[in-house]
């Protein structure tokens, strides 16, 4: 049961029940405002009937030529509202926006240890395109999967042919 609406600045004051979750990063203020100023249609929030934030997605469109794609920067759902299909709903929205922008594919990065998320993305049609070594800094650094799903514009699904060799973060564009 959801209201889907654009994320607004004031949502930052009440997203604690989502962001206090350790896997959800709270970024500096300007990170959010930059996304709001640049890609507002890619920043959507799912709100419960009582006005609680259940989850949100933030993303962007970037790349040149046949690398023009939608990117999921953050997708998070409050622990109280998990297993309701909310993440899928939010991903659908981002894919829709990317379709409208005529993107070739949508991509995202995920920790290789985050099995739950990887499975969910696989169920939504994403494949592991390549591994990015030591993408997440920490102790120790952790690799990321770069996962992708082709949009309708990529008729021959060229964007989702996996790269077998892992790459370094600096080689990711």
Partner 1 sequence: MAVRPQHMHDGGIVERRLRPIYDWLDNGNNKKALQEAEKVLKKSPNLQAARALKALALFRLGKKSQAHALLDELAAEKLSDDTTLQAMTISYRESQQLHKVCELYESAVKVEPLNEELHSHLFMSYVRVGDYRAQQRAAMALYKFAPKNPYYFWAVMSIILQAKTSEDATKKGILLSLAQRMVDNFITENKMEAEQEARLYIMILELQEKWDDILKFIESPLYSQLVPGSSAQACIPYLKKLGQWRRLNLLCKDLLWDNQDRWDYYLPYFDSVFQLMKESEINGESSADDTAEKCHEFICQLVENMTSGRTLRGPYLARLELWKRLSKDGDPTSLLGSGVALCVQYLRVFADKPCAVPDLRPYLAMLPQKEREEHSRDFLTCLGFNEKSEPETTKDVQRHISCVAAWRLAAAPMSAEECLELANTLRAHYIRSFNKGLLTATLTEFCSTDGYGILAAHHYFYAAMQQQSTAPVVEALCLLELVLSHSPANFHVKLLLVHLYHFLGNAIAADSIYQKLEVKHIQLVSLGWLHAERLSAACALQRALQLLANTSSFYTHHAKDSVEHLTYAYKYGTFEKLVELRAWGSRLEACAWGALSARERALLSLLAGPAVLLHAPAMLLPATPTDNRDLDVIVSFEPPESHDANLKERTYDQEVAYLRLKDALLSSIALCIECSDSRPLEERRPQYEELKTCIDAFSEAMKKCKEKYCDIEKISITKPYPSRIFAFVNSPIPYRELYSESVLMVGELAMGDTSAARTRCDLLTTLVNNSTRLLPKDIQLWTLRDSLETLSHYLEFIGIINCLLAVCNELFAPASTKKSKKKTNRSPDEIKTAELLNKLNETVQSSITYLEETFEKLPQHKYESTLESEFSKLAIDKKFGGCPVESKLQNGRQEMITEIQNILKRKTLFLKTLINFNSRGA
Give the span between the Cα atoms of 33 and 27, in whole angstroms. 10
Joined tokens for residue 44: 């959507």
Q: Please say which residue, 38 or 168, places its beta carbon nearer to partner 1.
A: 38
H or E segment and range at residue 134: strand 127-136
Least spacing, CB of residue 54 vs partner 1, in Å: 8
Q: What CA–CA distance (Å, rounded) separates 23 from 48?
A: 21
Phi–psi pair at 114, nearest 5 degrees: -85, 75
User: Least distance to partner 1 from the beta carbon of 16, Å?
Assistant: 5
For partner 1, the closer CB: 9 or 161: 9
Residues near partner 1 (CB under 8 A): 1-5, 8-10, 12-14, 16-17, 19-23, 26-30, 32-34, 36-41, 47-50, 52, 54, 79-85, 96, 100, 114, 116
| Nearer CB in complex with partner 1: 39/104 | 39
Least distance in Å: CB of 38 to partner 1?
5
Residue among 51 and 65 whose Cβ is closer to partner 1: 51
Residues linked to residue 106 through DSSP beta bridges, in sequence order: 70, 149
Q: How far apart are CA 155 and CA 79, in angstroms?
A: 37
Give the separation between CA 82 and CA 8, rounded to whole angstroms. Answer: 22
Q: How far is the CB of 103 from partner 1 (least distance, A)?
A: 14
């Amino acid at each position: 049961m959801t209201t889907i609406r654009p994320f607004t600045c004031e949502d930052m004051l009440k997203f604690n029940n989502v962001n206090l979750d350790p896997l959800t990063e709270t970024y500096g203020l300007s990170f959010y405002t930059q996304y709001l100023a640049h890609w507002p249609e890619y920043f959507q929030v799912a709100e419960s009937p009582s006005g609680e934030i259940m989850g949100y997605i933030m993303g962007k469109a970037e790349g040149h030529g046949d690398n023009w794609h939608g990117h999921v920067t953050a997708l998070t759902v409050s622990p109280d509202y998990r297993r309701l299909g909310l993440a899928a709903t939010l991903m659908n929205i981002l894919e829709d926006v990317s379709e409208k922008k005529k993107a070739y594919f949508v991509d995202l990065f995920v920790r290789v240890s985050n099995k739950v998320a990887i499975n969910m993305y696989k169920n939504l049609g994403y494949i592991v395109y390549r591994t990015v070594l030591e993408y997440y800094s920490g102790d120790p650094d952790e690799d990321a999967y770069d996962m992708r799903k082709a949009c309708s514009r990529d008729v021959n699904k060229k964007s989702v042919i996996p790269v077998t060799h892992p790459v370094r973060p600096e080689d990711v564009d």
